[in-house]
Copies of this chain bind each other. A is one copy, B any other.
Amino acid sequence: MSEYNPSLSVDCVIFGLDLNEQALKILVYERDIFHNEYPGNKNLKFPGSLVAEDKNLDDSAYQVLNELTGLKNVCLKQFHAFGNPDRIKNGEEKEWVERHYGVNIHRVVTVAYYALIRIDKLNPDQSMIKDKLRWINVDNANNLAFDHSHILEHAREALQMDMILQNVIAFELLPEKFTFMQLQSMYELILGTNLDKRNFRKKMSKADYIVPLGEKQNGVAHKPAMLYAFDRKKFEKSRETISTFFV
């Protein structure tokens, strides 16, 4: 492992979908040192790291994600760099970083990524997740550490834009087998809108990359829903047709 560059970091805004609670969530790291000084969310930050001198940004972000969650093959996308000189406040925030990494810092530019993972893919017994990582609702995520609330705002916008332009396979957020209603919830939670059920189905059922499995839910106290799966190959193919340019 080579040295950290004290001016460069990456941060990962890790999104997950909680379909029971109907909430878009983020995975945050709980700093265990400042229970007194930083009440509430001020102790929560996005998983991140200073960047090793010989490592590129994407790999650094990927490593953060991988080390904390154990997940591989995760959708990860850079969306913005944040470099306000006082984004890490002098005093306790700066001290925490210096203690944590064992280097002196002055100003740190962070390159922010968002990731999409399935909440159920995380093994809840993994020590890191038990001890230091928590899923919180994006709507309750004000007042995070550093400028991380600001970063979150950008992340949500980026995710929305990518979803609209279909650059993002938000299917990463859904279980392998999902219902149309869950698919719709995902769109609604990310875009922050309500969509008409019938029109949504009409539109989405045209997409050949959403394939019906001929299987139904069971154990639910209502009419069981048909299950669908996402076909990545067909999705990639459909993206080649650059589609509806000049909106």
Please list the residues of chain A having a beta carbon within 8 angstroms of any beta carbon in chain B.
5, 7-8, 51, 53-57, 78, 80-85, 106-107, 109, 111, 161, 164-166, 187, 191, 193, 195, 244-247
A106, B52: Cα distance in complex, Å: 12
Given the interface contacts A53-B106, A109-B109, does A83 sit within 8 Å of B8 by beta carbon? yes
Q: In the complex the two chains form, is A56's CB within 8 Å of B84's CB? A: yes
Q: Which residues on B sit within 8 Å (CB–CB) of A195?
A: 246
- Are the CB atoms of A247 and B244 closer together than 8 Å? yes
The listed residue with most B CB atoms (<10 A of its CB), out of A56, A78, A165, A195, is A56
Expressed in whole angstroms, the minimum distance between the Cβ of A206 and any Cβ of chain B is 13
User: In the complex, A17 Cα to B195 Cα: how many Å?
Assistant: 40
Contact of A107 among B5, B106, B161, B244 (CB under 8 A): B5
A180 to chain B, nearest CB (A): 15
The 4 A-B residue pairs with the shortest CB-CB distance in the complex, in nearest-first order:
A57-B83, A81-B81, A7-B7, A81-B111
Which B residues are CB-close (under 8 A) to A246? 164, 187, 191, 193, 195
Asked whether, in the complex, the Cβ of A83 is within 8 Å of the Cβ of B191, the reply is no
A83 touches B56 (CB 8 A): yes
Q: Are A109 and B193 in touch, CB under 8 angstroms?
A: no
Give the residues in chain B near A245, CB-CB below 8 Å: 164, 191, 193
Closest-by-CB residue of B relative to A203 is B246
**How far is the CB of A240 from the nearest CB of chain B, in Å?**
15
**A78: which of B57, B81, B187, B247 is its contact (CB, 8 Å)?**
B81
Which residues of chain B are within 8 angstroms of A165 by Cβ–Cβ distance?
161, 164-165, 247
* Complexed CA–CA distance, A85 and B59 (Å): 11
Chain B nearest CB, measured from A228 CB (Å): 18
Known: A55-B85, A83-B51. A109 touches B8 (CB 8 A): yes
Contacts of A56 in B (CB 8 A): 83-85
